[in-house]
Structure 1
Amino acid sequence: MTATNNAAELPLGRTGSATVRVVETLMAPHMGSGRAPVFATPALVALMEAAAVDCVESALDESQETLGIHIDVEHIAATPQGMEVTARAELIQRDGRKLTFALEARDGRELVGRGHHTRIIVDSARFRSKVQAKGAA
């Protein structure tokens, strides 16, 4: 797909994915999200966001990127170290620059998470300039 600067040109139903192998640094005790030796919820959220980024960023103009502004995730099953988890994001709604995704994540045995995520398309240079100015203040 060629790059676009118009979110309306991104087709609903477009999908993206991201996969990780569960290693110690992605487990709950290492990430500070509990003691259970399982894939951490913060790691699941990051994987789901990566799937949403994969879904749309390659289709945007090089001067643009997306920022996550809302995520609602249910972590419904535990995944032990060594297994792979794959997240899938589907673009289900567009409203101007705002993009909404349906999310799901599966390990090799079952559905482990699901939810919805909202990202907004921004002008990269303008956004980075604002961040830099905020840091300098």
Structure 2
Amino acid sequence: MKFDIKKGAKYDRRIKVEHNQTTSFLWEGENVFSTPSMISEMEETCRLLLKEQFLKSKPDWDSVGTIVDVKHIAATPVGAEILLKAEVIETDARRILFKVSAEDRLELIGEGRHERFIINIPRFKERFYQKVKRLDNLKNPNPN
């Protein structure tokens, strides 16, 4: 399958920082938007760029993250609105590299690069379940 992913394609989305997206170790009460949550939202922004702009008519295709190189620059409280941005900066068949950023209403809070790989969902699922079986066999070896 050929994918015509355009370099320079962009996608923006806004989210509100929720309680379940914060750290829990800095102090009691509401804390700050966590790095893993910020990265997760950046990844989803890149995924949606691909899904909505290039894979919309291909329901058996989606993408998975393969590399994350992101700096978390500034703290953001619960309830703040975050603007997430993704831009395709490089393509190589099914491997797509993005420039990503996140900002609140005051400043840039994170930036970096993220790589995703376009997958065929049924084939990916089949390989995954084959691995699950192999791992189960290692846990419960057949005495024969």
TM-score band (shorter)?
0.7 to 0.9
Contact 1:19 1:47 in 2 (8 A): no
Unmatched 5+ residue regions in structure 2? Answer: 135-144
AA aligned to 1:19 is: R
**TM-score normalized by the length of structure 2:** 0.83
Of 20, 23, 26, 2:18 maps to 23
Corresponding residue SS for 2:46: helix
Structure 2 residue 47 is the aligned partner of structure 1 residue 53: yes
2:2 to 3, 6, 13: 6
Residues 1-137 of structure 1 aligned to structure 2 (within 5 Å): 5-7=1-3, 9-29=4-24, 34-35=25-26, 37-58=31-52, 59-60=54-55, 61-137=58-134
Native 8 Å contact 1:105 1:114 kept in 2: yes
Q: Which residue identity is paired with 2:19? A: E
Instruction: For residue 85 of structure 1, report the CA deviation from its aligned partner.
Output: 1.1
Larger-gyration structure (1/2): 2
What TM-score do the two structures reach when normalised by structure 1? Answer: 0.87
- State the alpha-carbon separation in 2 of the partners of residues 74 and 40 from structure 1: 12
Distance in 1 between residues matched to 2:119 and 2:77, nearest whole Å: 37
State the partner residue of 2:142: none
Counterparts of 1:26 and 1:126 in 2: how far apart (Å)?
Answer: 32
AA partner of residue 131 (structure 2): K
Q: Percent identity?
A: 30
Per-residue CA deviations over 1:82-127 (Å, capped at 9, x if unaligned) read 1011211101100111000000101111110000000011111100
Count of paired positions: 128
Root-mean-square deviation (CA, aligned residues, Å) is: 1.3
Secondary structure, in 3 states, of the residue corresponding to 2:132? helix
